Structures are given as C-alpha cells and as structure tokens.
Chains A and B, each alone.
Chain A
C-alpha cells in the first residue's frame, strides 16, 4: 500500500426523486488498499460504488481518480472494473470468452490473450474450465469467473458490490480468504461493499461505515470496533451496551449510578455522553465487590460462553461470561478503565444499545426489514 490517493470523493451529493441518497460525502482510498463500505441496505454504499464506476453521476461534488477529476468520464474509459452482485456474466460466452472479453474489446493481439486468460483462470483456481458454459457453473465458480474477467484488465481499482451475498456460509468464508489472497498477490486496490460486519472486519485494511447517506466513521477494523464514534457504529459493529453518562472530567465518567475511571479524554466538563461497554469486557463479580449491581433476567447457554441479560437500574445490559449463572440471580459488575469507551452524543443516541427487547430472533436476518 502506498500513501498516494487513487480514488477521492469530495463533497459528493446525490438525490433520487428529491430524496438524498448521498449527503456531502468525503473520502479517499489509497493505492493498494483494501477498503470496505459497510452499512445497512439503503445506506448509500452501493450508490457510492456506482459513482466511482461511472454508472451514476453525482449532483454535486467531484470524483478524482489518480488526481484527475473524472466526473464526466464514461465507465468504459475508467481504469476501474466491477464485480457485480449477481456476477453479470455473459450467458452467450463460455468461461474463456467471458474472461477474455475485456482484452478482445481493447483489441489485444490473440497470442497475448491466451496466456493471460490461462494465468487468470489459474489465479482463481478454474484451470480446465475454459470451454464450460457459464450458466452451468455453481455460484462460487461464477464468482471466480467474474473476478478473473475483471482482473485480467489490470484495473487500478477493483470494485466489489456485495460479491459474496449470494453464496452459502461456508463458501463465503473460503471466498473471503481467497479475495484477500488475490488482493495481496495483485496489489490492486479493492473497494468492497457489504452489509456483513464480520466480512468487513476480517478482510479490510480500512472500513468506512455508512448510514443515511453519510459516512459515520472511517478507520481500521480494530479502531472501528474498539473506538466507535457514535451509537450507530457501536451498535452496528458487534454487540454493545450503550448507556447515557456524564463525562465529569478527563478519565472519569459517571453512568449507571457509579463513577468509573476510564481512559477517554478531550470532552467538555460534565458533557452528556454515550458510554459503550462490549458484552465480553464486563467482569461478573459478587454483588458486594461489584461497582454496580444487577439482576439477571435472562441467561442463555451459547456453548463456549453464557449470554446474560442483566437489569442494572432499569437498563438492560448484555453480558458475556464463561461462568454459569441462572435467572433472578443478583450479580455485581466490574469494569476495567479500558473496557469503557466514551462517545459524543449524536443523532443516533438513545436509538441503539439497549437490550430490554432483545431476542435472538431479531438478529436472524438483518436485511429482512429493509427489503420493503
């Protein structure tokens, strides 16, 4: 990865039928980076990708590629290639011709095409599939053809629009590893769109979390997880208890009726804040030694840990522990200073991070409610 910006969006805004899809977006992608746009469906992540590909033009703002403004450059003149959600392979061409498509369009000499196609098929583990019809391939194989078809053009940037969403869980894991390997081997910048936080965290150098057509946070996966900027990010990435608190002064925060020592600085004196506690960072202790007390309202055995819902002064916390507890038991809760993460209040405050209506069922299909 270099420090040169390959793609930059400046103040990009786009509306459809009067509805703002993207709201003054600013972002930059470095050459050779693996960047992921992460968000729920409808957050604007695919729209952003399509603007970079050239299928959409922003109403306002500028798109730069390698330092050059490309707002008016049509897709076929951009050195960007896309992996489409449903692969969009050409049904009238076999595997070989699908992969060779870009080279044929650019009138590459025949004797050069052959070794390049062979090399690409090797890269995606599809040697020997040259003559197959693409319509007879499995989802995973079609995916590989799509990757080969895009990479053979040696794009500077590869755009991937939820490429793994149509694959089953096992194949998805394999393809994650595979995509990461291909990205490292080729050194091509990958811009990846997904709604799957785990996918984003495990594959990316940088994650860009989006919601409501705005960027909520840009950072490394570790930063995004450990230092979420607001309640949306904290809730979207992993499980979080998000509690109202008051930042008394640097390194001291009061919430749940107790004043804790923390490691957060740079807030106003007595500023109202959101406090994030990850379920796995909570220490369960005896009620006497705990900093706060709570009653277990629900205990679920999860195999390698127990998941507890604990009522602390009317606010339900999620706690994960390896010890066995039962419902109605009173426990104490202790928190290390670095288990506490303090955030400024935002438009998302109060919307997320309370487990009072929590049920596992709600988590089954995060996309389902957005499909309407």
Chain B
C-alpha cells in the first residue's frame, strides 16, 4: 500500500510537465476554439457560426476526398516499397531509409515552393519537355497537382510506420508460410498483410490527418476551385472581417472529421489485433 502510494506520487510528479503542457497548449486552446465556434462577437451562445458552414460544404467534401485520395496513393506506393526494402541487405536498407527520411529535414513550405517552380508552366520539367519537342503539359494549378503535392510531402509518414512493422516480422514466419504451401502472393495476403495491420493504420493516420487540414499546398499548387478547409480557415482569419467565430467553427468541423475517422480506424484495428493502437 505504502509502496503503491509512493509510486503514484512519483509518477504524478514525473507526469506533471506533460499535464501542464497539455493543459496550456492542447486543452485550453481547444476550449477556446469551441468557445468561439459557439458564440457570437458578444460572447452569447449561438449556432449561427455552424449554420453558415452550409455555404462551405463543397470545400469540406473536397478536403475529405483529396485527403482520402492522397492517403490511398501513399499507401499504394509505401507498401510495395517497404516490402522491397525489407528484402534488401541491411546496408542497402539503411541507405533506402535515409532517402525516405531526408525530405523530412526540409520545411514543407520550401518543398512545396520548389515543387511548384519545377512543375510550373515555365518550370524545369516543362522546359525539358519543350526542348525534346514533347510540348508543354498542364502540371500545375489543378486537382492532380494538389494531390501530387500532398503525396510528395506526406509519403515518408506512410513508409516509416509500415517499414517499421514489416521489418520486425520474423523471417521464420515467412518460411513457415512457404512451408505450409503459400506462394509469395498468398504469403503477403495471409501473413504479411495481417501482421503489418498496425503499421498500415498508423501510416493512414499520419498521412490522412495532415492531408485533410492541408492549406498551403492546395493554395500554391491548386487551381481556383481547389481550395480546402485549411485554406478557408486561413482566409477567415486573414480577411478584413477577421471572422474568428467562423474559422473556429470550421476548425471544429475539421476536428470532428478527424475524430470520426480515427474512431473508424480504431474499430478496424481492434478487430484485427484485439487491442487498440490509437488514441
């Protein structure tokens, strides 16, 4: 009993910095956002901020589908990539990993800026295409460019968790699968996929969450009809009317979307593993 008390006091003490941090920078700001979302300029409760969002249903849906697309593309690239890397020799694996993490050292704005100058109508890629007589391609200012920019920026966050889980699968499990009659395709389906489930789930979260709240990429690389929730929020804050309540309401919607999608994923991974990897 005495011992237990001691440890709980000790752990409380050790946890204190995190609790203070969380309260200051997570809980209180969240409360402020919710407060703004449900009050008018005079601090009176109102639902009008939420109801005005009816006008914004297009960018909200657009954000959802862009981020689902970007997440799916990241998964389709990252999974086979991780599979191939896991089969390399340890030295080559290290190099491959370095190339995955290297872009993470560079700031997102700079990467996006560079990407857009590469893909611009007069960018390097188009100049090269013209030079070989292929002609200009409309690489920028369209939906494809936005999704490409998101994939380009968030791909490492899909690869790392999947690679991490996959590289820890014991080789003897794969041998056992072959031994029991699995061809390499059915081995992936029956053993590797189920065992990498937790990695896939965290990869999806790591890519989907920043994707759905993306703002700079869509503004820089998209066309006029490609702005997303993130851009809307930015616009509400920066516009002359300084419409914080509507920005807060949009943020609340964004959080709700993320929360719901996490709950769905959580349920999925619970079924797989009997335990939850999120939240």
Contact = CB atoms under 8 A, between A and B. Distances in A.
B263 to A, nearest CB: 23
A102 B180 contact: yes
Interface in B164-206: 170, 172-173, 175-183, 186, 190-191, 194-195, 197
Given A55-B175, A101-B190, A105-B190, A92 B195 contact: yes
A26 to B, nearest CB: 25
B272 interface: yes
A357 interface: no
A81 B180 CA distance: 7
Nearest to B170: A88
Main secondary structure of the interface of B (DSSP, over half): helix
A86 B172 CA distance: 8
A102 B194 CA distance: 16
Nearest to A74: B178
A150 B172 CA distance: 14
Contacts of B176: 82, 84, 88-90
Given A91-B195, A105-B190, A82 B181 contact: no
A220 interface: no
A61 interface: no
Nearest to B190: A105
A86 B176 CA distance: 11
A327 B252 CA distance: 91
Interface in A58-96: 74-76, 80-82, 84-86, 88-92
B183 A76 contact: yes
B180 A105 contact: yes
Given A86-B172, A105-B186, A105-B190, A81 B195 contact: no
A312 B14 CA distance: 71
A53 B195 contact: no
Contact of B194 (A53, A80, A92): A92
Contacts of B182: 76, 105
Contact of B180 (A74, A101, A133): A101
Given A75-B178, A92-B194, A92-B273, 9 more contacts: A76-B178, A76-B181, A84-B175, A88-B172, A88-B175, A92-B272, A102-B180, A150-B180, A153-B180
Interface of A: 53-55, 74-76, 80-82, 84-86, 88-92, 101-102, 104-106, 133, 149-150, 153
22 contacts: A53-B179, A55-B178, A74-B178, A75-B179, A76-B180, A76-B182, A81-B179, A81-B180, A82-B176, A88-B170, A88-B173, A90-B176, A90-B177, A92-B197, A92-B272, A102-B181, A105-B180, A105-B182, A106-B181, A150-B179, A150-B180, A153-B180
